[in-house]
Amino acid sequence: MSLTAQAPERVAASADTRTVALPVASGERELRLDLFRGLALWLIFIDHLPPNILTWFTIRNYGFSDATEIFIFISGYTAAFVYSRAMLERGTLVASARIFKRVWQIYVAHVFLFTIYLAEISYVATSFENPLYAEEMGILDFLKQPDVTIVQALLLKFRPVNMDVLPLYIVLMIFLPLILWSMLRKADLTLALSAMLYALTWEFGFSLPAYPNGSWIFNPFAWQLLFVFGAWCAIGGARKMARILSSRITLWLCIAYLAFAFFVTLTWHIPRLGVWVPYWLANWMYPINKPDLDVLRFLHFVALAAVTVRFLPKDWPGLRSPWLRPLILCGQHSLEIFCIGVFLAFAGHFVLAELLGGAWMHFAVSMAGIIIMSAAAWVFSWYKAETGKKTAAAGYSDADLAGGGS
């Protein structure tokens, strides 16, 4: 979750003769980004399971934000990290083509996941004669009108439970060429326009329709602020904030806000503590809206990130520890691991509902899912390394084949 920038490198812009300082050094991967994106994927998987022992280790129980904010912020940061250099070196057209190639990959992954997910739920619901699975996972409309529902799914309007993050990511990536083009010229203005769209969304209720009714669980008009903020930090915003982030006053303000959020969240689990929250404050705070990225959630994430990067430098030796390697590998293969996590979450639901449902079984299912995700990430990493050797021997670079990704 890097808010600090690496040493700047001057890169000539093909569109004009200006030089632009990029905040990333070529050839060095920011492991903190991989670490926290991997952590976000683990937390999302655990939160998608029925409540269990590991649920109490996810951040949503201790503050306003959760793993989704981590994932979207890092997605914006890494997207700018990867494609801003391409836009400067190769031009807007080539960079946009690479971005849209990535969008297509994410879209295909979403459609593939949707198909497998529906098959998994339908098979279990039919085999065990339990229609509650279809109702709980939100696929009743598909079973009633599969022809209409499939079209709506391809349009990203119909999504079963737990499949809301990828459509949001797809929409945000579609607008990434415009975001980067603007940010490489006027970064602060681009962030200001993003904040203005966020404010207008809250004022006028902008949203995208969902099928069969309602709106998107994650409103792109609001969540774009976190994505753009991540891109702004990668382009150079983090360097601008370095003095503020290093201030002791900033540190204590962040700690105070995190403590406040922790206490408020505690009242949700221990209702009798709610008397300590003044009525006027509760009336102002609630509801803390997740679909429209409530400002309290956004500030909580920023405070958490500011404290984290202060105590976790980019050269922290622990990032090379074998104990953190599974998290980092999952973060480096986030798209594949996210899809596997969604599939495993329903499998975990099935096991706990049909076989055993005790506390230790909940724990075992959670750990089994994490182990499977980590093993899959290791296989993906090994395969990428082996194919990279072959393509390099053939005279092609991995970037030529992959086109970059986030």
pLDDT tens digits, 193-218: 999 999 999 999 999 999 988 899 99
pLDDT of residue 393: 53
Answer yes or no: is 228 within a domain.
yes
Confidence of residue 24 (pLDDT cuts 50, 70, 90): very low
Answer yes or no: is 90 within a domain.
yes
Answer yes or no: is 266 within a domain.
yes
205 phi-psi bin (left φ>0, alpha ψ -120 to 50, beta other): left
Percentage, residues of the chain above pLDDT 70: 88
The model carries a pTM of 0.88
Mean pLDDT of 33-44: 95
Answer yes or no: is 274 within a domain.
yes
373 burial level (CB within 10 Å; 0-12, 13-18, 19+): buried
What is the CA 209 to chain-centroid distance, rounded? 21
pLDDT of residue 19: 37
Q: What is the pLDDT of residues 351-385, one digit of tens each?
A: 887 777 677 888 899 999 999 999 999 999 999 88
Answer yes or no: is 341 within a domain.
no
Range of the domain at 255: 9-24+71-318
Furthest CA-CA distance within the chain: 69
* Helices 146-154 and 92-127: angle between axes, nearest 10 degrees: 150
Answer yes or no: is 87 within a domain.
yes
Buried/exposed 235-268: b ≥16 CB within 10 Å, e otherwise: bbbbbbbeeebeeeebbeebeebbebbeebbeee
Handedness of CA 184, 186, 188, 190 (dihedral sign): negative
Cβ–Cβ < 8 Å for 81, 26: no
Hey, what amino acid is at 53?
I
Q: What angle do CA 237, 6, 184 make, to 5 degrees?
A: 40
Q: Report helix, strand or coil for 209.
A: strand
Answer yes or no: is 284 within a domain.
yes
Answer yes or no: is 126 within a domain.
yes
What's the domain count of the chain?
Answer: 1
* Helices 220-232 and 67-90: angle between axes, nearest 10 degrees: 60
